[in-house]
Structure 1
Amino acid sequence: MNSLYFTEEHQSFRASLKDFLQKEVVPHIEKWEKTGTIERFIWKKFGEMGFFGIPYPEVYGGLNLDLFYTVIFLEELQKVKSAGFAAAMWAHSYLAMTHLNAEGDERIKQDYLVPSIAGDKIGALCITEPFGGSDVAAMRTTAIKKGDKYIIKGSKTFITNGVYGDYYVVAAKTSPELGNKGISIFLVDSNLKGVSAVKLDKLGWRASDTGEIAFDDVEIPVENLMGEEGKGFPYIMQHFALERLIMAINAHARAEYAIDYAIDYMSQREAFGKTIDKFQALRHKLVENATDVEHCKVFNYSAVARLDKGEYVVKEATMAKLKSTQVADETIYSCLQMLGGYGYMEEYPLARLFRDSRLGPIGGGTSEILKEILAKMIIDKQNYKPAVK
């Protein structure tokens, strides 16, 4: 199946990335998980290797590679035993930077996209609010134009890289009376007067700095508006397909990691005179899990291939995230069980993986919200279309 999507060049890239992660990232993971802080040097190393520039134009320092290089990047990051670290990397590269590339003007691209690709600046995407959750249109943050400035007031929460970030891509209402048609996107430096960030204490993703950010009458120049005023909602919606596919790929990759770890453990663990991988009940359960994961993987790759060709795959991406995150949780739960008491111990990776995976059905749109989006498309025949810049 891999030959359908991955060339020899893709496989060489995977081998290089694996080697980099083992040498430069894995030795620091336990420290970052304990301190909750990812040190800045690793961002620069990622930038030097070109990993932040995978999908971006060469003129800005990117590699302009197809989306299956992104798939490899995401899959291998799920194997470093820290979904929090992985999230910090992909949220920077594919959430914040996607908007810089798509809606930013040339000045923004030179001042923010170029150093982001190089690993010199860290970005965060700020959409979710304390009272809004998955309801993007209900946001309360405002950006009121006064002369040659916008004044931003409000708050955002559950923001990955919210504390590390050098800049934020912020969604705010420029015309609150217009509802979702009054939302715009802005570039906001994190060191501006009136900006403050508080780190949140989470069940998992301990290495990442998920934060709540307050904007207290923050002044930004009018040229920090990204794209057209009032087009923020369709901009956000059209990028959600990529975000949901990212989370689906993360899910099938971490589930695969859990299965591989469980199989290795079971081949060594003995009970009643034989290794436990010989017990039919355990063997058949693992096979069920592997089958579910493989189904997700095949579907996810198919959706990525279509997105890479420019198709608008909002339905498929939504299905991919919905199913893959559910399957990942069930698979990791099952694999943890295979380890018995050791699965519950922090020194084994499945305990952390179990916690980290739980964010899958929540982040980037809860499973309940995704089901309603799909119901509108499948039952109500609603047709979502991409934004036109």
Structure 2
Amino acid sequence: MVVNSADPFETDERRALRALVAAFTEREVAPNMDTWEQDGSVPIELHRAAAKSGLLELGFPEAAGGAGDYIDLAILIEELIGHGGSPGLCGALLTHTIAAPHIAAAGDPEQIAKYVRPALDGRKIGSLAITEPGTGSDVAGVGTAAVRDGDHYVVNGAKTYITSGTRADFVTTVVRTGGPGHSGLSLLIVDTDTPGFSVGRRLEKMGCRCSDTAELHYDNVRVPAANLVGAEGTAFKQLMTRLDGERLNLAVQGYATAQRALDLVLPWVEDRVTFGAPLASRQVIRHKIAEMATQITVARTFVRDVVARYVRGEAVSVEVAMAKNTAAQTCEFVVHEAVQIFGGMGYVRENEVERLYRDGRLLSIGGGATEIMNEVISNRVLSRAR
């Protein structure tokens, strides 16, 4: 194979990273996926093992204990899914990538030492709590209140759909410290062993079952003012700055899941014999394979290009929205076709494509639904037309 030296995804160091993640996934992840799906979570030991291999630090600044950039994180996601993981596994194991970046970016040494470094070391699990019952994607509608009382904030409210909420040691929580709208929102780190904080219930989901999801309750929770991330009233700006990264994470999961589904289909169509001939000899199956491969290639090429531009510091929020939608739609198409090609076996829980089918459905919802992404895109398109 000829390697394109100009491709930032194919440097010597990153090929070595691929091999490292592939071996880790085949050893530590794939044999345990069925158990974790049944348990509804992954163990802290997995985080520690990943940290020991240097996998949790990817995409974080060196000053906070990190290494590499978002291309390295994308490669981690590709290989985790490509060797037997899943979007749910990525959500559970990489929960720190949504819980801790804001803390790292704010740069407070004590917060980094207490929360970011332990998360990158696999010693603490973090969550990000934005969504509330009734608010959905309307961040400006957040009502969880944080009232200053001396050197503490008193927090009251509730959050829902919180990834890793049942396992979290700390929750980076969007709270209202000021008036209505975006300008009244702040970020506050809440330790989950603080009196008044509780997990309302674990939410049972269609897919991503190994990634625990919860409702959280805050009942007069006293949080030190030192746990304020950045300045009061800056939460929305901080969230928007990091949201592109979260959406790219999901976009990478989209094409990686689709590729994994295709990889599972290919030996099946060669081996499965119907009416005296392998499925691979049927034109209808061959054309399905062709379309699946085409859409995956288009999605991967586009998403990787946007990731590289994001790493270079370009303003790519609209392209990120396009990339997320493209990859999510590709994933939905490919996993649907994969289940169809497997037939009855594709509908059986023991088949990996069944898991990918269920997990992939979240990608067009999480991190901003397809419809929200289309609003971002259409605003740009229409503004150019005026």
Once the two structures are superposed, the pairs formed by residues 1-389 of structure 1 within 5 Å of their partners are: 3=5, 4-5=7-8, 6-62=10-66, 64-79=67-82, 80-92=84-96, 94-177=97-180, 179-197=181-199, 198-380=201-383
Classify 1:166/1:114 alpha carbon distance in 2 versus 1 (closer, same or farther; 3 Å). same
- 1:82 deviates by 3.5
Task: Assess if the C-alpha contact under 8 Å between 1:82 and 1:207 holds in 2.
Answer: no
For structure 1, which runs of at least 5 residues remain unmatched after alignment? 383-389
What's the CA shift for 1:211?
0.7
What is the alpha-carbon distance in structure 2 between the residues aligned to residue 87 and residue 60 of structure 1? 21
Residues 251 and 360 in structure 1, CA contact (< 8 A), matched pair in contact too = yes
Letter in structure 2 aligned against 1:90: L
Q: Give 1:329 deviation, angstroms.
A: 0.5
Aligned partners of 1:15, 1:298: CA distance in 2, in Å? 21
Structure 2 CA distance for aligned equivalents of residues 2 and 20 of structure 1 = 26
* TM-score (norm: length of structure 2): 0.95
Q: Secondary structure at the match of 2:167?
A: coil
Unpaired segments ≥5 residues, structure 2 = none
Offset of residue 296 of structure 1: 0.8
User: 1:273 offset after TM fit, Å?
Assistant: 1.8
Sequence identity percentage:
36
Q: CA deviation at 1:59?
A: 4.4
1:381/1:151 CA distance change after superposition, 3 Å: farther
Deviations 1:185-213 (A, max 9, x none): 11110111111112101111111111111
Kept after mapping to 1: 8 A contact 2:202/2:212: yes
Count of matched residue positions in the alignment of Structure 1 and Structure 2: 379
**SS at structure 2 position matched to 1:208:** coil
Report the counterpart of residue 386 of structure 1 in structure 2: none
TM-fit CA distance, 1:354: 0.7
Moved more, 82-91 or 53-62: 53-62
The amino acid of 1:46's aligned partner reads A
Deviation at 1:67, TM superposition (A): 2.1
- Rounded Cα–Cα distance in structure 1 between residues aligned with 2:307 and 2:256: 15
Moved more, 76-85 or 28-37: 76-85
Shift of 1:2: 6.0
Deviation per CA, 1:276-299: give whole Å up to 9, x if none.
111111111221121111111111
RMSD over aligned Cα, in angstroms?
1.5
Distance in 1 of aligned mates of 2:129 and 2:263: 35
Question: 1:245 Cα shift?
Answer: 0.7
Helix, strand or coil at the partner of 2:189: strand
Q: Distance in 1 between matches of 2:380 and 2:131?
A: 23
Structure 1 residue 176: Cα displacement: 2.9
Decide whether the 8 Å contact of 1:81 with 1:349 is kept in 2.
Answer: no
CA contact (8 A) 2:146 2:176 kept: yes
Question: In structure 1, what is the Cα distance between the partners aligned to 2:108 and 2:63?
Answer: 14
Q: Secondary structure at the match of 1:172?
A: strand
Shift of 1:60: 3.9
Q: CA deviation at 1:100?
A: 1.7
Whether contact under 8 Å (1:33, 1:82) holds in the other structure is no
Distance 2:51 2:93 in 1: 11
2:339/2:346 contact within 8 Å kept: yes
Query: Aligned pair in 2 of structure 1 residues 293, 348: CA closer, same or farther (>3 Å)?
Result: same
Could you tell me the TM-score, scaled by structure 1's length?
0.94
Give, as a single letter, the amino acid of the residue that structure 2 aligns with 1:228: A
Deviates more, 1:223-232 or 1:100-109: 100-109
CA distance in 1, matches of 2:326, 2:71: 20
CA displacement at 1:37 relative to structure 2: 2.7
C-alpha contact 1:128 1:156 (8 A) present in aligned 2: yes
Letter paired with 2:34: E
Q: Displaced runs of 4+ in structure 1, greater than 6 A?
A: none
